[in-house]
Amino acid sequence: MDVAPVVETTEELVMGMVGWVLAVLLVAFMLPLLAFMYLDVLEAKHDVKQQLEKVEKLRREVDRKNRKTPEEFKDNPLFDRRKKHE
């Protein structure tokens, strides 16, 4: 069987070119949007890390204030030590 070559009409050629142009424009439009979204995610991640560090610092301060005195923990060597600033 001999297959005859398919001839592309002018309309098909123009539609193919329009399709390629639209595809390139879509990619050119989407890349900056993706970059902005990625930068926003990085900024949010940084902010969350800072807030988490603040919360941890406050939690440690509250734990220090609520901790019982070392005299109540005679059997615990960590509490038997005196702090340098005392």
Q: Where are the domains of the chain?
A: 32-86
pLDDT at residue 48, rounded to an integer: 97
Categorize the per-residue pLDDT at 55 as very low, low, confident or very high, splitting at 50, 70 and 90. Answer: very high
pLDDT at 73 over 60: no
pLDDT at residue 69, rounded to an integer: 61
Number of residues that make up the chain? 86
pLDDT at 27 over 70: yes
C-alpha to C-alpha distance for 21 and 7, rounded to whole angstroms: 22
pLDDT at residue 64, rounded to an integer: 82
Q: Burial, 70: exposed, middle or buried (Cβ in 10 Å; 0-12, 13-18, 19+)?
A: middle
Helix (H, G, I), strand (E, B) or coil at 4: coil
